[in-house]
Amino acid sequence: MADKAELQAILDTQRAAFTASRPEPLALRRDRIKRVIALLTDHSQVLCDAMSEDFGNRSPQQSMITDIVGTVNFAKYCLKNLDKWAKADKRHIQFPLNLMGSKGEVRYEPKGVVGILSPWNFPVNLSFGPLVQVFAAGNRSMIKPSEFTETTSEAMRQLVEEYFAPEELVVVTGGPETALAFSSLPFDHLVFTGSTETGRKVMQAAAENLVPVTLELGGKSPVVLGRSADFAKAGERIAMGKMMNAGQICLAPDYMYVPEDRQDEAIDGVRKAASAMYPTLLDNDDYASVVTDRHFDRLQGMVADAREKGAEVIEVNPAGEDFSNTNARKMPLTMLTGVTDEMQAMQEEIFGPVLPVKTYREVDEAVDYINANDRPLGLYYFGSDEGEREHVLGRTISGGVTVNDVVFHVSMDDLPFGGVGPSGIGSYHGPEGFKEFSHARAVYHQTKVDVAGLAGLKPPYGEKTDKAIKRQL
Ligand code: NAD
């Protein structure tokens, strides 16, 4: 565990190296990204095993898909686009300077040292994903991964030591105290992925040093199931997005809004699909455990609270397994109907396999509900009615949208990924991510002509100046 002075020393070393080596060739950025790719591919097994150990159980195949393949492909996308992104933008210069040889451009330059604070749910992806774009923009980086995935964090620390010099990249491990010290360092930029609650603290700490932040937070991402949707197919996709990583995904569908007269059909679609993908749960390695006892108890409490306040609880337990006598922290998909705003399940981000179902007569009831609550990270609309789709999209605000599926927009490398308001600030992925981690530096080249003198704008001011001002207005 590193204390503040040690962290500051690492930052000082990185910043000194950064300053001394500017300007660095793009080839060096490429080399760093390639080393990330090599680290992840050469040691994918070690990292997937570490994630399984940290979760109690998590399918290595799932980890390969979400944490290794997803990150490596994003790194390759960055390699492919780096030259294009790093080009300066020529900008328009106003008349008459444009005719006198003045020129303007924006250069996308590295900021310096970027801090990355990552969560436990996709510990490798959410550390190395931002990193490859931080590297693409020419920065150096310090990463502080989550203390909840200790084995994975330690594996990342050791591997990074093998592949990178400490003045390029360092992983520091430690608990909330280290995280707090980390977030109060005078970085050139800080990327935080985690809960909205912690995001607030991170932004406060960063504000002390006016460190710009990218906050990738959470929230309650709604599904709006339109009447025109294929309910069976929608059920399949919702079940897949909700049950992957046992619902511990920032973009997991949090709750579902369905037409009142078709609630049973909607629930049936999800139930059938969940049962087909996970016919058993307890000894099924494909189905992840809830990460810690604290989160497991929180989810159990949430269901008990809903039941107590009048919700109907529908457990999808296809093999009729007994979950009461296990310490595997596995929980079946649990749907809740008849939910109200007084229930915990409708007040906080669920982040687990619990799916409240709300009903509407007119789709605007869903729109109004979404607008009355915090702006979500994701919004999902299912249906073939284009008019209704555009109505729902046009009247709501969310970080991103997937139409006719859930979660998927985050996997599209060329689309920016981020929240809005309480679900986040800023974004990465796509060209937007490169810009997020770059400083857009305006560079203006003045003409040789004495413009101020010619225009009468030079002191001593007089009649000529007044005329020039009038003319310009
Ligand atoms: P968390 O907020 O508890 O922790 C995230 C990180 O913050 C950890 O590394 C932790 O050590 C650090 N931290 C804890 N206290 C801190 C403090 N006072 N100051 C600075 N840093 C501190 O989040 P979590 O439980 O690890 O992850 C789950 C949350 O993350 C959910 O809300 C989820 O929606 C969100 N999330 C968002 C995204 C996204 O990309 N938008 C992705 C994954 C998870």
pLDDT tens across 347-388, in order? 999 999 999 999 999 999 999 999 999 999 999 999 999 999
Measured at the CA of 60, the angle between CA 59 and CA 66, to 5 degrees, comes to 90
HEC string of 338-405 equals CCCCCCHHHCCCCCCCEEEEEEECCHHHHHHHHHHCCCCCEEEEECCCHHHHHHHHHHCCCCEEEECC
With respect to residue 461, please indicate whether it lies within any of the assigned structural domains.
no
Residue 159's pLDDT is what? 98
The CA distance from 52 to 422, in Å, is 31
Q: Which atom of ligand 1 is nearest to the CA of 122?
A: 43
- Number of domains comprising the chain: 2
Same domain, 160 and 226: no
Question: 71 alpha carbon to ligand 1 midpoint, in Å?
Answer: 19
Atom index in ligand 1 nearest the CA of residue 145 equals: 9
Note the pLDDT tens digit of each residue in 33-81: 999 999 999 999 999 999 999 988 889 999 999 999 999 999 999 999 9
pLDDT at 344 over 80: yes
pLDDT, one tens digit per residue, over 174-214 is: 999 999 999 999 999 999 999 999 999 999 999 999 999 99
Average predicted confidence (pLDDT) for the chain: 96
User: Is residue 454 pLDDT above 90, yes or no?
Assistant: no
Per-residue pLDDT reduced to its tens digit, 423-446: 999 999 999 999 999 999 999 999
How confident is the model at residue 57, as a pLDDT? Answer: 85
Does a structural domain hold residue 458?
no
- Give 357's strand partners: 256, 337
Q: What is d(CA 364, CA 356) in angstroms, rounded to the nearest whole number?
A: 19
Q: Which residue has the higher pLDDT, 308 or 55?
A: 308
- Which atom of ligand 1 lies nearest, measured to the CA of 118? 9
Q: What is the pLDDT of residue 1?
A: 58
In CATH, what number is assigned to the domain containing residue 392? 3.40.309.10
Average pLDDT over residues 342-346: 98
C-alpha distance from residue 289 to each of 22, 331, 349 (Å):
46, 7, 18
- Please give the residue range of the domain that contains residue 32: 4-217+424-440
| pLDDT (tens digit per residue) in 286-301 | 999 999 999 999 999 9
- Same domain? 383 vs 239: yes
Question: Does residue 47 sit in the same domain as residue 194?
Answer: yes
Claim to verify: residue 192 and residue 262 sit in the same structural domain = no
The verdict on 213 and 226 lying in the same domain is: no
Pair 386, 336 in one domain: yes
Looking at the fold, whether 371 and 357 belong to one and the same domain comes out as yes
192 and 146 share one domain: yes
Report pLDDT digits (tens) over 138-176. Answer: 999 999 999 999 999 999 999 999 999 999 999 999 999
pLDDT tens-digit readout, 390-414: 999 999 999 999 999 999 999 999 9
Q: In 3D, which of 381, 420, 366, 372 has the Cα closest to residue 398?
A: 420
Give the burial string for 338-360 (b: 16+ CB within 10 Å, else e): bbeeebbbbebbbbbbbbbbbbb
Q: Which residue is catalytic, options 216, 236, 349, 436?
A: 216
Whether pLDDT at 453 is above 90: no
User: Does residue 260 sit within a domain?
Assistant: yes
CA 368 – ligand 1 centroid, Å: 29
Mutation pick for ligand 1 pocket among 216, 250, 294 (CB with most ligand atoms within 8 Å): 250
> Cα separation of 79 and 203, whole Å?
30
Question: For 277-289, what is each residue's pLDDT tens digit?
Answer: 999 999 999 999 9
Q: Is 333 in the pocket of ligand 1 (CB under 6 A)?
A: no
pTM for this structure?
0.95
Do 229 and 140 reside in the same domain of the chain?
Answer: no
Within-domain flag for 457: no
- Alpha carbon of 179 to ligand 1 centroid (Å): 10
Mutate to test the pocket of ligand 1, among 195, 216, 254 (most ligand atoms within 8 A of CB): 195
For residue 166, the domain's CATH number is 3.40.605.10
- Catalytic, 168? Answer no
User: Is 452 inside any structural domain?
Assistant: no
